[in-house]
Amino acid sequence: MTTIRETNFQLPGQTAFYRGKVRDVYTVGDKLVMVASDRISAFDHILPRAIPQKGAVLNQIAAHFLSATRDICPNWLISTPDPNVAIGHLCEPIRVEMVIRGYLAGHAARTYAGGLRELCGVVMPEGLRENDPFPEPIITPTTKAVEGYDEDISKEDILARGLVSRADYEQMEAYTRAIFRRGTEMAAARGLILIDTKYEFGKKDGEILLMDEIHTPDSSRYFYAEGYEERQKKANTSDNSARNLSANG
């Protein structure tokens, strides 16, 4: 099967073009045309081989979840005229990425294992094991870098630096928690656990819109619900055995 490694269109009225890690983005007037390629990005590196139909699957998943959460938060998407293509509103990006975590996994787990109990100004409770759920989901924002890596930042620093107004940040917080609840419910109906994800927002005509993809495997972490409890029990038993061995020399 052929793959879409990259595109090089010259669209009528096109004023800008940007090639991201996965998407080729064309600006046409006040609209964006995003083409989801079959490129694979891992840890900010584009892998040498593309996967057939990966972009189409990614684009359709994102469109599905954007449609399913439009009653919670308005979003940028207008249409998907092709399986790989999404057309939407051009927004002014808000340079803060809202990361929400329901479980102690990934970056949060590494921070916790290093002995720290605070991430992005949020205190994490004692006594958690990797992949345990938090008592309630926590929001750990990052700066949205134009180039290079995003950086952890607290709500207090965001407001102090004037990256976002207090009213806008609190609206994004409310949207983030509500969309995550919806995503969690939708995942559970398919036998999955939505562990953590991120949301990007922008503004158009003064209104906050949800941008980019949501709840895709590229932007989110999922576990299979079946067997989760058993796996956590086994991990706990292994941890206790390791501690006992260490205590015994």
pLDDT higher than 60, residue 132: yes
pLDDT higher than 90, residue 201: yes
Measured between its terminal Cα atoms, the distance across the chain in Å is 57
Query: How sure is the predictor about 248, in pLDDT bands with cuts at 50, 70 and 90?
Result: very low
Mean pLDDT of 35-42: 92
Residue 167: what pLDDT? 98
Where do we find the tokens 């930042």?
A: 153
pLDDT higher than 50, residue 245: no
Query: How sure is the predictor about 239, in pLDDT bands with cuts at 50, 70 and 90?
Result: low
Lowest mean pLDDT among 53-57, 80-84, 130-134, 237-241: 237-241
Mean model confidence pLDDT for the chain: 92
Mean pLDDT of 40-54: 86
- pLDDT tens digits for range 62-105: 999 999 999 999 999 999 999 999 999 999 999 999 999 999 99
Walk me through the domains of the chain, giving residue ranges and CATH numbers. 14-89 (3.30.200.20), 92-228 (3.30.470.20)
Residue 208: what pLDDT? 98
The proportion of the chain whose per-residue pLDDT surpasses 90, expressed as a percent, equals: 85
Query: How sure is the predictor about 46, in pLDDT bands with cuts at 50, 70 and 90?
Result: confident
pLDDT higher than 70, residue 244: no
- pLDDT tens digits for range 145-200: 655 567 999 999 999 999 999 999 999 999 999 999 999 999 999 999 999 999 99
Mean pLDDT of 216-236: 93
Angstrom distance (rounded) from CA 70 to CA 89: 14
